[in-house]
C-alpha cells in the first residue's frame, strides 16, 4: 500500500518547510509514503526548497495555471508514481498532518473511495460569517446535485483511491472541490467525511481575494456544473417556471374576459402568456437535448477512464521492473516529464 501526499504550491517557499515537517513518515497499514509538490509556476524558490527538503516528486508547471489545474496535474503525477491512495493537502499548513491517519482510514477499511476532511466550518474563528455561509452553500449544492451529505464540501483536505482519481476530470479553472464531488456522486462512488483539525491561519487565502469576486465565481461554477451533470433538471425547472407564469397570465386574461365580456385592455397579458409558454416549452426541449449530450459525455468519460487505467497499468508494470529508488521528478507541462538528479 503506497500513499502519496500531494501539495499544490504557488510561491510557498516560506510555508512549505513547516507543512512538510508535519506530514507523517509512517502510517498504520501503509508500506510507503511519498510526498509530491506541484509547483504552479511559482516565481520564488518553492522548487529549490522542495528539493532541499528531499521531496520525492516535484511537478513543475511553466506558468501559473490555478489551483484546479495544479490539483488535476498532481493526480496524474501521483497515478504515474504508482500511488494506491492520494492525499491532497494545502501548502499553507492549514490542515494538521497528523490527521492524515484518520483521513485515509475509511479507504483502508474498504468503506470509501473518497474521504473529505471536515473542518467544522461553523466553528472556525478565522472564517467570517459570510464565508461560513458560502461554505455551507457549497455543501448544499453538492448534496442537491450529487446526493452527497458532506458538511464541508469545499475542504481541500481529502483522500482518494487510485481508481477514484482515474475517474475524475477537472474542467474548472478556479477550484476543484465542488466539481470533483459532483462528478464522484454522478459515478456512484462511496464518499464519506471525517472530522479534522486546522492550524492557526498564517496568511490570507489566495483563492478568495475578495468576497464579491468569490461569490460571482462560485455562482458561475455552481450553475455550470449543475447544468453539466443535471441538465434535464435545470432546464425543466427553468422552462417550468416560465410555463407556470404563462398559465397564470392566461388565467388572468380569462378572468377579465369573462368579467368584462371582451378583450379590451387585456390583450397584452394574452400575448405575454403566449410568448412565455413558447419560450418555456423551447427551454424544456433544450433540456432534453442537453440530457442526450450528457449521455454522450458519460460515454466519453468512460472511454477516458479506460484509457487512463490502461496507461497507468502499463506505467506501473514498467516501474516494477526498474530499481526501487525514487528519483525526484519534474514536469513542465501535463505531458512533458523529465527527471532531475537524485
Q: What is the pLDDT of residues 89-100, one digit of tens each?
A: 999 888 999 999
Q: Between 88 and 199, where is the model more confident?
A: 88
Res. 38: pLDDT tops 90? yes
Backbone phi and psi for residue 48, each to the nearest 5 degrees, phi listed first: -60, -45
DSSP character string of 89-142:
--TT--B-GGGHHHHHHHHHTTS-SEEEEE--GGG-TTS-HHHHHHHHHHHHHH
DSSP letter (8 states) at residue 230? S
| Domain residue spans of the chain | 2-229, 231-298
Whether pLDDT at 203 is above 70: no
CATH architecture of residue range(s) 2-229 = Alpha-Beta Complex (3.90)
For residue 323, what pLDDT is reported?
38
What cell was used for 328? Answer: 525526484
Q: Which of the four pLDDT bands, split at 50, 70 and 90, describes residue 145?
A: low
Q: Is 212 left (phi over 0), alpha (psi -120 to 50) or beta?
A: alpha
Q: What percent of the chain has pLDDT over 70?
A: 80
158-167 pLDDT, tens digit per residue, is: 999 999 999 9
Residue ranges of alpha helices (H) inside the chain are: 16-21, 46-52, 67-80, 100-108, 129-146, 162-167, 177-186, 211-229, 231-260, 267-320
Express each pLDDT in 228-265 by its tens digit. Answer: 878 888 899 999 999 999 999 989 888 888 877 665 66
- Choose among 174, 179, 118: nearest CA to 149: 118
Contact status, residue 180 vs residue 155, Cβ threshold 8 Å: no
Cα dist from 266 to 243, 252, 273, 274, whole Å? 19, 9, 11, 13
Selection from 167, 168, 166, 194 nearest residue 180 by Cα: 168
pLDDT above 60 for 332: no
- Are the C-beta atoms of 150 and 143 separated by less than 8 Å? yes
pLDDT at position 71: 94
pLDDT score at 315? 61
Please give the full DSSP string across 54-79, using - where no structure is assigned: T-SEEEE-SS---HHHHHHHHHHHHH
| Res. 336 pLDDT band, cuts 50 70 90 | very low
**2-9, strands of its sheet edge to edge:** 57-60, 32-39, 2-9, 85-88, 158-161, 114-118, 191-195
Mean pLDDT is highest, among 170-179, 277-286, 303-312, for 277-286
Q: Which of 205, 208, 148, 133 is nearest to 179 (CA)?
A: 148
The Cα diameter of the chain in Å comes to: 93
Please give the backbone phi and psi of residue 159, each rounded to the nearest 5 degrees, phi first.
Answer: -125, 140
| 4, β-bridge pairs | 34, 86
CB 176 within 8 A of CB 86: no
d(CA 329, CA 327): 6
Strands 191-195 and 114-118 come out as parallel
Contact between 83 and 319 under an 8 Å Cβ cutoff? The reply is: no
Amino acid at each position: 500500500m503506497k500513499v502519496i501526499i500531494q501539495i499544490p504550491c504557488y510561491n510557498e517557499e516560506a510555508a512549505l518547510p513547516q507543512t512538510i515537517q508535519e506530514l507523517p513518515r509512517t502510517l498504520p497499514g501503509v508500506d510507503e509514503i511519498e510526498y509530491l509538490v506541484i509547483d504552479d509556476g511559482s516565481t520564488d524558490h518553492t522548487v529549490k526548497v522542495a528539493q532541499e527538503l528531499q521531496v520525492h516528486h516535484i511537478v513543475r508547471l511553466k506558468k501559473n495555471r490555478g489551483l484546479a489545474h495544479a490539483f488535476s496535474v498532481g493526480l496524474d503525477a501521483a497515478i504515474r508514481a504508482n500511488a494506491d491512495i492520494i492525499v491532497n493537502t494545502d501548502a499553507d499548513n492549514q490542515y494538521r498532518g497528523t490527521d492524515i491517519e484518520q483521513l485515509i482510514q475509511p479507504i483502508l477499511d474498504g468503506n470509501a473511495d473518497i474521504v473529505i476532511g471536515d473542518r467544522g466550518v461553523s466553528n472556525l474563528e478565522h472564517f467570517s460569517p459570510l464565508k461560513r455561509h458560502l461554505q455551507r452553500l457549497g455543501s448544499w449544492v453538492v448534496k442537491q446535485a450529487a446526493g452527497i451529505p458532506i458538511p464541508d464540501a469545499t475542504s481541500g483536505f481529502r483522500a482518494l483511491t487510485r481508481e477514484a482519481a482515474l475517474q475524475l476530470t477537472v474542467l474548472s479553472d478556479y477550484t476543484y472541490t465542488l466539481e470533483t464531488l459532483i462528478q464522484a456522486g454522478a459515478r456512484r462512488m462511496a464518499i464519506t467525511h471525517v472530522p479534522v483539525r486546522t492550524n492557526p491561519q498564517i496568511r490570507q487565502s489566495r483563492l478568495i481575494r475578495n468576497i464579491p469576486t468569490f461569490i460571482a465565481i462560485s455562482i458561475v461554477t455552481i450553475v455550470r456544473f449543475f447544468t453539466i451533470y443535471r441538465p434535464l433538471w435545470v432546464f425543466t425547472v427553468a422552462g417550468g417556471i416560465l410555463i407556470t407564469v404563462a398559465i397564470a397570465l392566461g388565467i388572468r386574461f380569462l378572468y377579465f374576459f369573462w368579467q368584462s365580456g371582451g378583450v379590451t385592455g387585456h390583450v397584452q397579458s394574452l400575448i405575454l402568456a403566449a410568448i412565455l409558454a413558447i419560450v418555456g416549452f423551447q427551454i424544456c426541449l433544450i433540456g432534453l437535448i442537453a440530457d442526450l449530450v450528457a449521455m454522450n459525455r458519460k460515454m466519453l468519460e468512460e472511454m477516458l477512464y479506460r484509457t487512463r487505467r490502461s496507461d497507468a497499468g502499463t506505467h506501473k508494470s514498467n516501474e516494477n521492473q526498474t530499481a526501487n529508488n525514487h528519483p525526484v521528478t519534474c514536469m513542465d507541462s501535463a505531458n512533458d516529464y523529465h527527471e532531475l538528479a537524485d
